[in-house]
Structure 1
Amino acid sequence: MSIRVSHAHGEHIAVAAANGTEILRYVYRPDPDAFESRKPYAHPLRTLAGRTVTGYRPNDHRWHKGLQMTASHLSGQNFWGGNCYVHGQGYLRLPERVGSMRHDGFPLIAAEDDRLTVAEDLTWVANDGREWAREERGLTVHSVDETAGTWALDWSIRLTNLREEPLAFGSPTTAGREMAGYTGLQWRGPRDYTGGTVFAPDTDADADKLMGSQSPWLAFTAEHDDVDAHSTVVFAHAPENRDAIHESHWFVRSEPFPTVAFSWAFFEEFELPPEETFGYRYRVVIADGAWDRERVAAHLEALPW
């Protein structure tokens, strides 16, 4: 199935399916509110039938924006956005700790008939303006299948420490809050995903059981408002993530709001030494319909990395 790519320079890159549905918009224009941690994000993400599967600036967390790379606790800075968790004091509004991710350019934007490949250069900037890290980001839209009603987005990161001291990656849990290990690539679902069904390869459909767990993939399915339709979003690790700088765990909630993060520092901090680099690669599959465990597993098996 062919795709159509458009680029509003300085604003966003958008991908539309052959039927005219815009399935992805990647926004790299700086956000107006620094407290929400200015950084690029993907929103909206839609199924081929046009069902939106991302939320944007919900009233409970204005800094949740579609699908975005984050780091909630990074050497005392907050690249997640919003309030900062401080042990013994709870969540505090500390704007002086909120950093940003600056878009520096696109070394590559390559569109083929059914595939878009994007390479992006970014700089992670602390609140005081110091450049802390250089990121090479990769985005690939592929496997757009009208018959199956699905498409895939691959998202990769290579991060290099620009400081003269280690970068320490953590989460609210490493700072003392139980089972709140959110950080890393984060998805915020729309309101109609609240209370949706979450499952992994070998576990029951229960987000509470999956919180802090490990598995090669996790799926989230829900019924939409306004239309008689379901959709499914699948989050998958690339095989090489098993050998990454630090093991990952799932941060996942269905209630009171829907969210998933590939948390790279859920229970323990890890450090990236000066001038060193780490990398992760992820896949997000977006499908029409309420998929079950067997269908998700078969679909992922048929999508080579």
Structure 2
Amino acid sequence: MPTVQAHDLSCAGRVVARYVWDPHLPATVSPRPYLHPVTTLGGLTVTGFMPADHLHHLGASIAVPVLNEANFWGGRTYVAGHGSVHLDNHGRQRHARWLHRSGDRLHQELDWLDRDGHALAHESRGLSAHHLDGTAWLLRVDFTLTSATGGTLTLDSPAARGRTGAGYGGFFWRAPDGDHRISAETGTGIDAVHGRAARWLSVEGGGWTLVFLTDTISPDPWFVRCDDYAGVCSALAWERLVVPAGGALTRRLSVLVADGTPTDEALTAAEEAHR
């Protein structure tokens, strides 16, 4: 089997995230680059990878349930009137070239291919690690999607196709199993956060905290689960999203990764680094 290609991101003198940019995975998980493990500065792992309940959850990754009828999420595809169905429509994200590659920053170009290997979209992706204080660091994620064919890009989620509440798709983070506390500027608990737009969202787990930061002007809704599993997604297509021909879809997100509860100084530094 070919060797998996990966790059380690470092912060404050230690590796804090492994970015697997050329994975070798089954087609049914919609192969794509992913971050796993991601750790706190103290060494606690804060991502889950291919858990038995959802084999297509790959740590932290950019994934879309349907883009121009190709499944870039993995698993089943939701079909209106039929529910979630196993279809032979899985795409994959393929590394094209590096524009920058160093210990704390990556800039990559990728192609989003359908099941037959035809390019549907091109992506420019940036990842960077920023030191905040002795207990926290920040992962910043920037990406831009454009059409590879010159036509429109249509992004769908099960929610957009009629499955209430299932608006996932975008930058998705599978957290480790356990007890979690969810909060955002809209309130505390799933009901106050799920499906709502908020500039920040916090997940507290066993000895660690993640604080997700997103667009300060027009944030996407959050998809959040913490009952059967822990997952957070800044949802691109809670409703169907169409990128017109010649247009581009651009997002910037950041994740503060802390041991325990982040300090006020770390939160302030995270906001500055996110800009």
Give TM-score, length-normalised by structure 2: 0.92
- CA spacing shift, 1:277–1:202, aligned 2, 3 Å: closer
1:64 corresponds to 2:52: no
Letter in 1 for 2:234: F
Aligned-partner Cα distance in 2 for 1:51–1:272: 38
Aligned-partner Cα distance in 2 for 1:120–1:208: 36
Alpha-carbon distance, 1:10 to partner:
6.1
Aligned match of 1:282 = 253
- CA spacing shift, 1:81–1:304, aligned 2, 3 Å: closer
Alpha-carbon distance, 1:18 to partner:
4.9
Aligned match of 2:199 = 216
Check whether the contact 2:8–2:19 (CA below 8 A) recurs between aligned residues: yes
Aligned-partner Cα distance in 2 for 1:24–1:81: 22
Check whether the contact 2:68–2:154 (CA below 8 A) recurs between aligned residues: yes
Aligned-partner Cα distance in 2 for 1:16–1:270: 35
RMSD, aligned α-carbons: 2.1
1:15 to 9, 17, 21: 9
Aligned match of 1:249 = 221
- CA spacing shift, 1:163–1:296, aligned 2, 3 Å: same
Aligned match of 1:232 = 209
Alpha-carbon distance, 1:295 to partner:
7.7
Aligned-partner Cα distance in 2 for 1:127–1:67: 22
Check whether the contact 2:4–2:23 (CA below 8 A) recurs between aligned residues: no
Aligned-partner Cα distance in 1 for 2:246–2:120: 11
Aligned-partner Cα distance in 1 for 2:133–2:268: 15
Give TM-score, length-normalised by structure 1: 0.84
- CA spacing shift, 1:46–1:60, aligned 2, 3 Å: same
Alpha-carbon distance, 1:276 to partner:
2.3
Alpha-carbon distance, 1:170 to partner:
1.6
Aligned-partner Cα distance in 2 for 1:78–1:295: 41
Letter in 1 for 2:70: Q
Secondary structure of residue in 1 paired with 2:46 = coil
- CA spacing shift, 1:184–1:301, aligned 2, 3 Å: closer
Which structure 1 residue ranges, 5 or more long, are not aligned?
1-8, 224-229
Aligned match of 1:6 = none
Aligned match of 1:46 = 39
Aligned-partner Cα distance in 2 for 1:301–1:32: 35
Check whether the contact 2:138–2:255 (CA below 8 A) recurs between aligned residues: yes
Check whether the contact 2:136–2:266 (CA below 8 A) recurs between aligned residues: no
Alpha-carbon distance, 1:298 to partner:
4.2
1:103 to 82, 95, 112: 95
**Structure 1 vs Structure 2: percent identity of aligned residues?**
32
Secondary structure of residue in 2 paired with 1:133 = strand
Q: How do residues 105-184 of structure 1 correspond to structure 2 at under 5 angstroms?
A: 105-111=97-103, 116-146=104-134, 149-184=135-170
- Runs of 4 or more, structure 1, over 6 Å off, are none
Letter in 2 for 1:236: L
1:89 to 82, 88, 92: 82
Secondary structure of residue in 1 paired with 2:169 = coil
Secondary structure of residue in 2 paired with 1:174 = helix
Alpha-carbon distance, 1:144 to partner:
4.6
Secondary structure of residue in 1 paired with 2:191 = helix
Which structure 2 residue ranges, 5 or more long, are not aligned?
none
Aligned match of 2:182 = 198
Aligned-partner Cα distance in 2 for 1:24–1:278: 26
Aligned-partner Cα distance in 1 for 2:250–2:92: 19
Aligned-partner Cα distance in 2 for 1:141–1:78: 29
